[in-house]
Chain A
C-alpha cells in the first residue's frame, strides 16, 4: 500500500450546523457479505450472464430479419412453376383462366390500382381538410379527443367495414349509380349495368378506411410545423387560411405526402372489405360500375380452391407481385415521413 508524502493535517473548515434532528451514526459493522473484498480474485459472480443476455436478445431481434427473408423466399420459390410457365408475360397478360391454365396478373393490378386511386382521390382532400381543421382551427381540448376517436377508426377490423359495405353501401351505391347512369350514362366511366357492386363502391369503401390514416398523420405533421412560420405569415398580414394554404401545408408537404403513401400501402393490401364489394371478376373495364378484382381479393377467393401446381403457383406469384409493390410504396412512405417526424409505430 502506497503512502502519501507527509502532509499537514488540515484545519477543519467550519460549516454552519443545521438542526436536522438525526440520531448519531451507528457503528459500521458490515452487513453485506464481502464488504471491502479484494478486487482481484473476487469472482463469485457469474460473468457470463451479460453476454448471454445480449446474445439472446440479439437472436430474437435477428429472427425479425429471418422472418421477412422467409416470406420473400417462400413467395419466390413457390411461384416458380408459374414464373417458369409465363415469364414476364405474367405481368402483362390480362387473361385469368384456371381451366386452360393461362394466368396473367394484369386485371388484378388494374383493380388494385384503380380502386386505390379512387380511394386516394376521395380520401386526400377529406383527410387533409379534417387534419387542417383539427390542427389549425380547433383548440386542443376538442382536437385531441377528436383525433383519438378518428384513430379508433384505424382499429376497426376490415371485415366489419366489409359488412357495413355490403349491407349499407352497396344498396346506396345501386341507387346513386342508377342516378348517375340515367343522367351521365353516355360517359364510358358510367357505362354498363349498375349493381352497386364494383370498382367505384370498392374505391369509396377503401376511402373510408384510409381517411383516418391521412387525418392522423397529416395532423401530426401539421402540428409539427414551427410556430415561427405561422407567426411570420400572420405578421405579414395573411389571413389564417392563407397561412395554412401557402405556408403551413407546403412546409409539411413531404410528411403529408408520406401519409398518402402510407394510406396507399394500406389500401393496396386491403383484402376483406374489398372482396366483399368489388365483384371479384378479373376483367378490365373502363366503367366504374363494372365489377373488378384485386390481387388481395383473388388470393382470398381462389386460394383454397386452386387445383394443380400451376394454378397455385400463379396465385403465389400474384402474392409476390403484391408483396413487391407494397414494399416499394412503404419504403417511399417512410422516406417521406421520416424527413418530417418520427412515425408512431403503434398507429401504423
Chain B
C-alpha cells in the first residue's frame, strides 16, 4: 500500500471505490497486476500513464465492462461503498446504474437527442413521460448542453458536433443517476475549445458525483483532477494528490514520466 502517500493532515475523505490486489489477465497476457487503490468520493481522480499501461483496463474493471472480453480473468476485489462488485450475486446491470461510463469516441445512438438521454431511464423501468422529460432536461443541463438543444430534442443526435455529441453522452450517462462517472479519455477526440468545456463540466459535476478519468494528457490531469494515479506496464506506481504527484513525486518512475523522459 505504499503507493498511497499518507500525508499529515486533517480531513478524512470517504472512499467511494476501493480496489485491492486487482489482477487482470487475458489468456497468458497480464494486463494489470497487484493494484491497490482508493477512489475518493466527490473528487476527480485521474489515471495517467503511457499507452498500454493498463489505465483503461483498470477503469473498465470498475463497472465490469471487462466481463465481455472473451478469455478474461479478474482476480482481487473491487468494492463500491463496501460491497464487492465481483461477487457472483451482483447483477452487472445494477452496478452500471451506479457506475456510469463515458467513452473516448462519443457514441450516441442513431436516435433523437431525447431518446438518447432517455434510453437509460427507460431501460431501468421509468415509463412516466413527465419523469422522463424532467430527467432529460436535468441531465442535459448538468452536461451544459440544454441551452443548445432544447429546441430540437427530437432531432437526430448524429447531427450534433463532436463536442456536443460527447456532452450528450455525458448527459446520457448522468440520466440514470449514477454515483460514479468513469470517463475514458473523454476529450481526446475533441478540439481545444470543446475540451475546455468538458474539463469545466468535470469540475462542476464532482459536487454531485465521484469522477474517475483516464487521460493520456498530463496537463489535463493536472488541470482537472484532485488525485492522480500513475500506471506503468500494468502496475500502479504511485497515487496521491495531484499537486503533490506532479510537483514532488515520491517514485523515480513517476518523475521520469511526468518530466517527459519517455512516454
* Chain A CB within 8 A of B40 CB: yes
Task: Please pick, from B6, B83, B242, the residue contacting A40 in the complex, using a CB distance under 8 A.
Answer: B83
A10 touching B11 in the complex, CB below 8 Å, given contacts A2-B79, A18-B200: no
Docked-complex contact A25 and B15, CB < 8 angstroms: no
Closest Cβ of chain B to A328, distance in Å, is 35
* Chain A CB within 8 A of B257 CB: no
Closest Cβ of chain A to B211, distance in Å, is 14
Docked-complex contact B197 and A18, CB < 8 angstroms: yes
Closest Cβ of chain B to A52, distance in Å, is 15
* Chain B CB within 8 A of A47 CB: yes
Docked-complex contact B124 and A4, CB < 8 angstroms: no
Docked-complex contact B15 and A4, CB < 8 angstroms: yes
Docked-complex contact B131 and A39, CB < 8 angstroms: no
Docked-complex contact B141 and A31, CB < 8 angstroms: no
- Which residues does chain B contribute within 8 Å of A35, judged by CB atoms? 97, 177
Docked-complex contact B146 and A10, CB < 8 angstroms: no
Closest Cβ of chain B to A29, distance in Å, is 10
* Chain A CB within 8 A of B82 CB: yes
* Chain B CB within 8 A of A32 CB: yes
Q: Which single residue of chain B is at the shortest CB-CB distance from A26? A: B138
- Which residues does chain A contribute within 8 Å of B204, judged by CB atoms? 25
Docked-complex contact B222 and A6, CB < 8 angstroms: no
Docked-complex contact B18 and A2, CB < 8 angstroms: yes
Closest Cβ of chain B to A261, distance in Å, is 35
Docked-complex contact A6 and B14, CB < 8 angstroms: no
Docked-complex contact A32 and B79, CB < 8 angstroms: no
Q: Which single residue of chain A is at the shortest CB-CB distance from B83? A: A39
Docked-complex contact A31 and B179, CB < 8 angstroms: no
Docked-complex contact B222 and A13, CB < 8 angstroms: yes
Docked-complex contact B15 and A32, CB < 8 angstroms: no
Docked-complex contact B177 and A2, CB < 8 angstroms: no
* Chain B CB within 8 A of A68 CB: no
Q: Which single residue of chain B is at the shortest CB-CB distance from A47? A: B91
- Which residues does chain B contribute within 8 Å of A17, judged by CB atoms? 200
- Which residues does chain A contribute within 8 Å of B208, judged by CB atoms? 25, 28
* Chain B CB within 8 A of A7 CB: yes
* Chain A CB within 8 A of B248 CB: no
Q: Which single residue of chain B is at the shortest CB-CB distance from A11? A: B243
Docked-complex contact B222 and A21, CB < 8 angstroms: no
Docked-complex contact B9 and A22, CB < 8 angstroms: no
Please tell me which stretch of B24-32, B54-62, B107-115, B223-231 contacts chain A, meaning at least 4 of its Cβ atoms lie within 8 angstroms of it.
B223-231
Docked-complex contact B196 and A39, CB < 8 angstroms: no
Cα distance A5–B81 in the bound complex, in angstroms? 16
* Chain B CB within 8 A of A346 CB: no
Cα distance A37–B79 in the bound complex, in angstroms? 14
* Chain A CB within 8 A of B261 CB: no
- Which residues does chain B contribute within 8 Å of A33, judged by CB atoms? 125-126
Cα distance A344–B12 in the bound complex, in angstroms? 63
* Chain B CB within 8 A of A227 CB: no
Contact with A along B182-207 (1 / 0, CB 8 A): 00000000000100110110011001
Task: Please pick, from B7, B15, B203, the residue contacting A6 in the complex, using a CB distance under 8 A.
Answer: B7
- Which residues does chain A contribute within 8 Å of B200, judged by CB atoms? 15, 17-18, 20
Docked-complex contact A3 and B14, CB < 8 angstroms: yes
Closest Cβ of chain B to A19, distance in Å, is 10
- Which residues does chain A contribute within 8 Å of B11, judged by CB atoms? 6-7, 9
Docked-complex contact A8 and B7, CB < 8 angstroms: yes
Contact with B along A14-58 (1 / 0, CB 8 A): 011110111101101011111111111011010100000000000
Task: Please pick, from A7, A11, A16, A45, the residue contacting B94 in the complex, using a CB distance under 8 A.
Answer: A45
A6 touching B80 in the complex, CB below 8 Å, given contacts A13-B242, A18-B196, A25-B141: no
Docked-complex contact A16 and B83, CB < 8 angstroms: no
Cα distance A266–B83 in the bound complex, in angstroms? 62
- Which residues does chain A contribute within 8 Å of B224, judged by CB atoms? 13, 15
Docked-complex contact B177 and A10, CB < 8 angstroms: no
Docked-complex contact B177 and A32, CB < 8 angstroms: yes
* Chain B CB within 8 A of A1 CB: yes
Interface centre among A20, A30, A45 (most CB of B within 10 A): A20
Task: Please pick, from A6, A20, A23, A42, the residue contacting B10 in the complex, using a CB distance under 8 A.
Answer: A6
Cα distance A248–B212 in the bound complex, in angstroms? 54
Q: Which single residue of chain A is at the shortest CB-CB distance from B179? A: A36
Cα distance A342–B138 in the bound complex, in angstroms? 47
* Chain A CB within 8 A of B176 CB: yes
Q: List 17 A-B contacts (CB under 8 A).
A: A1-B82, A2-B79, A5-B6, A6-B9, A7-B9, A8-B8, A10-B244, A15-B199, A15-B203, A25-B204, A32-B124, A33-B125, A36-B177, A39-B91, A39-B95, A40-B87, A40-B90
The interface of chain B, by Cβ under 8 A from chain A, is 4, 6-15, 18, 38, 40, 79-83, 85, 87, 89-91, 93-95, 97-98, 121, 124-126, 131, 134-135, 138, 141-142, 144, 146-147, 176-177, 179, 193, 196-197, 199-200, 203-204, 207-208, 222-227, 240-244
Closest 6 CB pairs between A and B? A8-B9, A10-B241, A5-B6, A35-B177, A42-B94, A10-B226
